[in-house]
Chains A and B, each alone.
Chain A
Amino acid sequence: MNDNIIEIKNLEKGFENSKIMALNGIDLEIKKGEFVSIIGPSGSGKSTLLNMIGALDKPDKGSIMVAGNNLTQKKDLSNFRSQEIGFIFQLHNLIPNISVQENVEIPMYGTGRSGKEMRERALKLLDYVGLSEKIKRKPTELSGGERQRVAIARALANEPSIILADEPTGSLDSKTGKMILDRLSDLHSKENVTLIMVTHDMSIASLADRTIKVLDGKVQN
């Protein structure tokens, strides 16, 4: 028995009939509540690794256990994603025609919450990211940093045990980026959420408990 929330062994993932090997035998263990940053050159496989952990894609080889789920075997992964994972992307990817509050409610559909519970939870999360004043706005009426904060609130909607952030500050200026990071590290320290963040910025990476370097689809030691 150990307290690893993620255990990855010899994970491989290729694209275009394995002509491109995005992951080339990844071995990785991450403890529950850890804050891990992932760095590496462009095309080294960071996003692919994050997608494997978040069960957005299936590996070709190897094993991957996340929060007690064997992802190579599981068939319907939507429940796993809904219950365990919160994604934050480089681009916020919010739905433009509905309000900020409604965007935060989106992940809660089909989770058994009533409309009132969904609304209350969305308001609480938007308050947490400092957007109480703008809940009725459309994403197009917000600044880049504000949109990314909405994306954080959305990622937290179903109380995930793991947050996967793929360059969350990549499209923001450094000041706005810092604000986003504050929220994420606060979340990590207060809620004991496991936080895995891909970044190109060494100063951001250094905030993490541990930094993992990925090169050519492998973890460098």
Chain B
Amino acid sequence: MSFFSLIVKNPFRNKTRTALAIVGIAIGIATIVALGIITDGLKASTEETLKAGGSDFIVVEANVSDMFFSKIDEKYVNEITKIDGVDQAAGVLMAMQSVEDNPYFVIIGIDAKNIQFSDMKITKGKVFSSGDAREIIIGKVASEKMNKTVGDTITLSGDKYTITGIFETGDLQQDGGAFMSLANVQKMESKEDKVTMIYVKIDKGADVEKVTAEVDKKYKSELTTVASLEDLASVDQGLSIIDTASWAISLLAIVIGGIGVINTMIMSVYERTREIGVLKAVGWKNRRILGMILGESIVLTLVAGIVGCVMGIVAIQALMLLGMGGFLKPVYNFDVFARGFAVALIVGLIGGFYPAYRASRLPPTEALRYE
């Protein structure tokens, strides 16, 4: 038998205690993994919004904390259209309204002629007409939730809008909301001549980086371009808050898991005091005893890592079954699981070190006298 297999066997001598420790740590790891899957899902759907339809990049207000709070003058739409390399630009205004029992009903205002920027498919009816007719199209998910279809009306800020069509984009957030003409949303929100962002499509063969650099230079203090999620990070703090939260939870899991491991390993060392005395008597070096206990601790936490990853996936699947599927598409990235395992390893190292050190320092005669 190898030293390694001894290390793997030892944690399972006290099955109940080990199982409890594993479950405790696994819950922490599962939380980290589940949050990671959710964060990645949100990132992916944000990215989807960014890459909406034909747009190559979007333009938002400079220095705003959240993309949603961006507010820029509509006149920039025309100005940007004139920039070298820009093919088309379309202003959109986003609004959130409370509709029936959904307080976060997202309405996007865009001119009917620019609707292709949204990459949608009209599954029923047709797009709202241009001009200021009180017309609206709603997403497939919204239609199912509100049980409304073409011909029905929706009341927004006291005005009735007739549903002219049902659309599908594949983006959960959008499919749960609606589109109407830009002018209507501007009026409804009292934001005449304002837009949230501008979708920009560049000429064939033009370079996105060059064009965005041009826009950034020209409107340094007023506008920011977002061509990818990396650009977004500086604009959208929402995602970075989730990121921070999941790091904080990781840290918490390390602390709580670490205490659990210390406790479990100290108990295990305590029970095996005599045995450790014998190992010293047969000539084991302190280093080897330290390595054994530390190794056992890492075995414990790595098993917890596996259990935690499985628990995380199961938790996400359960959330999906409970109806979260309407808001979120989970994304399973390798990185998330790698992070879960990294945390497990850190917990094993930190939690195992003190008990291992104590075991290695036990005076052999005292250990052997221990009853």
- Give chain A's interface residues, CB within 8 Å of chain B: 48, 51, 54, 56-57, 76, 78-83, 85, 87, 89, 93, 95-99, 101-102, 105-107, 109-111, 115, 154-155, 157-158
Contacts and interface: CB of A to CB of B under 8 A. Distances in A.
A123 to B, nearest CB: 13
Interface string B1-20: 11100100110110000000
A98 B9 contact: yes
Interface size band for B: 20 to 34
Contacts of A97: 9-10, 12-13
Contacts of A107: 282-284
Interface string B129-162: 0000000000000000000000000000000000
B194 interface: no
A155 B281 CA distance: 10
B282 A106 contact: yes
B364 A57 contact: yes
Nearest to B282: A107
A107 B12 CA distance: 22
B288 A110 contact: yes
A135 B160 CA distance: 87
Contacts of A96: 13
A51 B1 contact: no
Contacts, number: 75
B278 interface: yes
Interface string B333-371: 000000000000000000000000000000111001000
Nearest to A51: B365
A98 B1 contact: yes
A13 B286 CA distance: 23
B275 interface: yes
A57 B284 contact: no
A102 B6 contact: yes
A78 B283 contact: yes
Contacts of A81: 280-283
29 contacts: A48-B365, A51-B364, A56-B280, A57-B363, A57-B365, A78-B283, A78-B284, A81-B283, A82-B282, A82-B283, A85-B281, A85-B283, A87-B281, A87-B282, A93-B275, A93-B277, A93-B278, A95-B275, A95-B278, A96-B13, A97-B10, A98-B1, A98-B9, A102-B6, A107-B283, A107-B284, A110-B285, A110-B288, A155-B282
A102 B281 CA distance: 17
A78 B285 contact: yes
B287 to A, nearest CB: 9
B274 interface: yes
Given A48-B365, A78-B284, A97-B10, 18 more contacts: A51-B364, A54-B281, A76-B285, A79-B285, A82-B284, A87-B281, A87-B282, A93-B274, A97-B12, A98-B1, A105-B1, A107-B283, A109-B3, A109-B288, A110-B285, A115-B1, A154-B282, A158-B283
